[in-house]
């Protein structure tokens, strides 16, 4: 739990971009996903990549330090589209979901968001709370180590943290600024 709390303490707008992106990668790993930071490692691709399973990835661009009321711009959405193209080249047998971690769901009139999704900071906080509850249940469990795996699988099965549930529950569509 201490490691979890250390990581999520960096998933706030006050964290530097590097701290936030590293924490987002570590958080994805805690959710059970394979994670990478392609932009940091290769100088190309998304800020963070979560491979949810053997055929689906989340291409993530983080805009965590953006002012709360500012919409996603055409240039920022272009970064996400560019990251998706990198993903298609590097993971040709996977499909992906384009995700912007952004303070709100608004986009400027010049952005055509298409299938891009947003993980707002509020929804990220809800995801953190839900994972915290699952981890607390496991760490407070008195079952044997071998039964702990079974308990984890049972808790995950009814949680919102499995890949498909996570996508449906926490990722939102963008909406055009009025």
Query: What is the domain count for the chain?
Result: 1
Q: Looking at the domain assignment, is residue 107 inside a domain?
A: yes
Q: Is the pLDDT of residue 178 over 70?
A: no
Percentages of the chain per state (helix, strand, coil), in multiples of 5: 45, 20, 35
Confidence of residue 176 (pLDDT cuts 50, 70, 90): confident
- Average of per-residue pLDDT across 44-52: 97
Q: Kindly state whether residue 114 falls inside one of the protein's structural domains.
A: yes
In a domain, 76, yes or no: yes
Q: Is the pLDDT of residue 146 over 90?
A: no
Contacts of 153 (CB under 8 A, 6+ apart): none
- pLDDT bracket for residue 151 (50, 70, 90): confident
* 56-114 tens-digit pLDDT: 999 999 999 999 999 999 999 999 999 999 999 999 999 999 999 999 999 999 999 99
Q: How far separated are the first and last CA of the chain, in Å rounded? A: 42
From CA 12, how far away is CA 125, in angstroms rounded?
9
The CATH number linked to 27 is 3.40.1350
- Enclosing domain of residue 72: 2-125
Length, in residues, of the chain: 178
């Amino acid at each position: 739990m201490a490691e979890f709390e250390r990581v999520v303490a960096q998933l706030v707008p006050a964290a530097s971009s590097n701290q936030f992106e590293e924490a987002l990668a570590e958080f994805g790993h805690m959710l059970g996903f394979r994670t990478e930071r392609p932009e940091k490692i290769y100088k190309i691709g998304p800020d963070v990549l979560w491979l949810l399973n053997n055929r689906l990835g989340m291409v993530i661009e983080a805009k965590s330090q953006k002012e709360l009321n500012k919409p996603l711009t055409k240039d920022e959405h272009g970064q996400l589209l560019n990251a998706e193209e990198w993903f298609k080249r590097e993971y040709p047998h996977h499909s992906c979901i384009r995700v912007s971690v952004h303070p709100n769901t608004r986009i400027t009139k010049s952005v055509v968001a298409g299938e891009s999704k947003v993980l707002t900071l509020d929804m990220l906080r809800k995801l953190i709370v839900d994972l915290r509850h699952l981890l607390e249940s496991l760490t407070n469990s008195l079952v044997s180590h071998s039964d702990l795996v079974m308990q984890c699988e049972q808790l995950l099965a009814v949680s919102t943290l499995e890949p498909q549930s996570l996508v449906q529950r926490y990722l939102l569509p963008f909406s055009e600024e009025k």
